[in-house]
């Protein structure tokens, strides 16, 4: 059982007059009162929970449902925004000068706008760098959802792909001034790996088979070739 589930149970018990909270070590202190509502700590306006995401996105029955996150460089210098299409496993990524929401928004729109017809939903981590999700949704004509706090497995594909990308950009490495070409080259290698779950096709091949789009021939992704 996740520890946050326990804290939520203790909070509900307290509201009903229970005394379970008195057994917490910091029950009388404001320091890190973890049994508060996690959903109210995100600071993201108009956040829609992943529970509201349509079932077709949950079951990977179509192309167009994307998971999003960022990986951060050593000493918080530089970042890379990552995005993964759930059905075809296609990965896109773009380097950022920092973790600001404006940078993240611009990078996501830049990469996904050429594929706009194949963007139905986006599912984000709860980082404040995704605070401009509404602007992204408007420009891409899609719906945005957020995984529950501390539930990284709800974006499992994105988390796994981030681990693979870390082979090229380890946590010990600062990501400031990383060339776009370097990120695209690493992503190109990941998208060229045959996957058992795709019938041993590559993400590039799976995406082209279902959409008719050859990512590497798109002008916007010329650096990948």
CATH code for the domain defined by 50-224: 3.30.420.10
Separation CA 134–CA 84 (nearest Å): 19
Pairing of strands 65-72, 91-96: unpaired
* Interval 32-54 mean pLDDT: 70
The sign of the dihedral angle between the CA atoms of 200, 201, 207, 209 is negative
- Residue 99 clears pLDDT 60, i.e. is over it: yes
Could you state, in order of their start, the residue ranges of all structural domains in the chain? 3-36, 50-224
pLDDT at 34: 42
pLDDT at 19: 81
Separation CA 203–CA 28 (nearest Å): 52
Q: What is the pLDDT of residues 175-190, one digit of tens each?
A: 999 999 999 999 999 9
Contacts of 116 (CB under 8 A, 6+ apart): 140, 141
Confidence of residue 1 (pLDDT cuts 50, 70, 90): low
pLDDT at 188: 95
Provide the CA 47 distance to its chain's centre, in angstroms.
14
User: Which of 28, 39, 38, 41 has its CA nearest to residue 7?
Assistant: 38
Do the beta carbons of residue 49 and residue 146 sit within 8 Å?
Answer: yes
H-type alpha helices, the chain: 3-15, 55-58, 101-112, 133-140, 156-165, 180-191, 203-211
Q: In the predicted model, what is the mean pLDDT of the chain?
A: 88
What pTM was computed for the model?
A: 0.79
pLDDT at 25: 66
Percent of the chain with pLDDT over 90: 71
- Residue 39 clears pLDDT 60, i.e. is over it: no
The sign of the dihedral angle between the CA atoms of 72, 76, 79, 81 is positive
Other CB atoms within a 10 A radius of the CB of residue 63 amount to 22
Confidence of residue 16 (pLDDT cuts 50, 70, 90): confident
* 3-class secondary structure, 68: strand
Separation CA 26–CA 180 (nearest Å): 47
* Interval 57-67 mean pLDDT: 95
Q: φ, ψ for residue 198 (rounded to 5)?
A: -105, 20
pLDDT at 223: 52
- Residue 35 clears pLDDT 50, i.e. is over it: no
Q: What is the pLDDT of residues 185-222, one digit of tens each?
A: 999 999 999 999 999 999 999 999 999 999 988 866 65
């Amino acid at each position: 059982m996740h520890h946050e589930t326990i804290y939520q149970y203790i909070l509900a018990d307290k509201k009903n007059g229970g005394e379970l909270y008195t057994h917490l070590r910091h029950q009388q202190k404001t320091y890190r009162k973890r049994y508060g509502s996690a959903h109210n700590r995100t600071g993201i306006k108009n956040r829609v929970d992943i529970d509201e995401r349509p079932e077709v996105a949950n079951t990977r029955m179509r192309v167009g449902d994307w998971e999003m996150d960022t990986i951060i460089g050593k000493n918080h210098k530089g970042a890379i925004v990552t995005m993964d299409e759930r059905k075809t496993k296609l990965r896109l990524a773009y380097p950022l000068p920092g973790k600001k929401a404006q940078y993240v928004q611009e990078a996501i729109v830049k990469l996904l706008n050429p594929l706009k017809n194949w963007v139905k939903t986006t599912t984000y981590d709860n980082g404040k760098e995704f605070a401009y999700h509404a602007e992204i949704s408007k420009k891409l004509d899609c719906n945005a959802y957020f995984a529950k706090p501390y539930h990284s497995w709800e974006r499992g594909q994105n988390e796994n792909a981030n681990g693979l990308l870390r082979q090229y950009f380890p946590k010990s490495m600062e990501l400031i001034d990383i060339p776009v070409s370097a990120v695209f080259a690493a992503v190109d290698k990941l998208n060229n790996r045959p996957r058992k779950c795709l019938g041993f096709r590559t993400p590039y091949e799976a995406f082209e088979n279902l959409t008719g789009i050859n990512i590497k021939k798109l002008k916007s992704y010329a650096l990948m070739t």
